[in-house]
Structure formats: C-alpha cells, structure tokens
Amino acid sequence: MDLSGKRIAVIGGTGKLGGALAGRFARAGLSVVIGSRSADGARAQAEAIGHDTKGFDNATAAATGDVVVLAVPYAAQDATIDTIAPHLSGKLLIDTSVPLQPPAVMRVQLPPEGSAAVRLQARLGEAVTVISAFHNVAAHKLATGEDVDCDVLVFGNEKGARGAGIALAQAAGLRGLHGGALANSAAAEALTSVLIFLNKAYAVDGAGIRITGTLNESAI
C-alpha cells in the first residue's frame, strides 16, 4: 500500500510507543497527526517531533487520519475506542495492543477472544478493517534513531491491509512481515510477555525477535 498523501493518525501519540512511532513516521516523510486525551499534550508532542506534525485530542485525530494507529495501553483501550469509534468507519486501524494485565506482565494472559486484535475487530464490526503490528518492539529503542534488531509481524485477514502495516514498519526503519490471519496476532501478543520475562531473567535491554530463514519477498 502506498502511504504517500495519506494522513497517519497515532492515537496515544504522547505515550512511549505511540510517540516513538509518530516520530519515526514523520521523519520518514509521512503526514502524521498525533492524538492524545489532552489536545495540549498532543500539540506539544507534535511540535517536538516537527516535520509538520499536528496534535489534537484523540477523537479529532482519528477523524483527521486516513489510517489510524492505536497505541494506548490495553487497559485504556475500551475507553479510547468509545471516543474514536465514530470516526473509524471505512478506515484501516492498526492495533499495537498487547493484552498485559499488571502486575503479572511476564505471564501470557490472552483475552477469551484469543487476542486483543480479534477482540477489537469484533467490537468495531466490519466497517473498520483491523490489522495488528508492532507488538514486540521495545519502545525505548524505537524512540532513539538507532537500528532496532527486531522484526515486525503484521497480522490481518486481508493481504492488502497487512501491506499498509508493512509499509509503516518500513517507514519506522524495521522489517515488516506478513504474519497471516488476524487470529495469529495471538502469537506476537503473547510473545511480548515472554520478552519481558527475558529482559528480567537475562538482564537484557529490550529483547526482540527475528524470523530466521531465507525469505523470498517476491513470493508474496
């Protein structure tokens, strides 16, 4: 999917992951708007990023965006969706949610629907196309300009929609890979708890994952 000319709205764009993604997207030349509960906070973050980034409250940002990236903590997802759902019809939503349930964040606790992404798609209905991505990337590493040694698995039921997620991963300087159906999001969502465990157990500064093997990009 060609993202040129499309506005990318990052909901939760003042958070760690959202802010880091928004900054990388903007520096890659994409048109970015930041959403936050506080419009003032969003404007300040947008100014800090520069590159003509704009900041609004979450609802206005969602209404302004052509493609919407959801980057709020899982616990805030329901309330955020209440706010932005009226502005998502016909759009592509890229969910970055990992269903962590503090305090046991090192333990996989997937929702009854199987994954946060499938739960979100069910909640939003067919008028919104949900894909998911960016579950395994350490936000603090994304926030710097450094190379991040992590692949981005992109899940969704439509190949074309997944392509938009892959294009965003590339814009963020990461390798994006088709990971299959939205139900497969469970794998990357669950893996994040494993990575948090690895960070603690092995004193790692932001473990990530790489898919190994020779991938033929032209096969897809």
Give the chain's largest Cα–Cα span: 47
Question: Which CA distances in Å does 124 have to 118, 130, 158, 160, 178?
Answer: 10, 9, 16, 19, 23
Residue from 3, 93, 110, 172 that binds a second copy (CB under 8 A)? 110
Q: What is the number of alpha carbons within 13 Å of residue 75 lying toward its C-beta?
A: 5
Give 73 or 206: the residue with its C-beta nearer to a second copy: 206
28, 8 contact by CB (below 8 A)? no
Contact track, a second copy, 185-214, x by CB under 8 A: -xxx-xx-xxx-xxx-xxxxxxxxxxxxxx
Give 102 or 202: the residue with its C-beta nearer to a second copy: 202
Q: How far is the CB of 59 from a second copy (least distance, A)?
A: 33
Residue from 21, 93, 153, 169 that binds a second copy (CB under 8 A)? 153
Residue from 39, 44, 108, 139 that binds a second copy (CB under 8 A)? 108
Contacts of the segment 75-79: beta carbons below 8 A, 24+ positions apart: 75/102, 76/12, 77/116, 77/120
**Which residues lie near a second copy (CB under 8 A)?**
106-110, 114-115, 149-150, 153, 177-181, 183-184, 186-188, 190-191, 193-195, 197-199, 201-217, 219-220
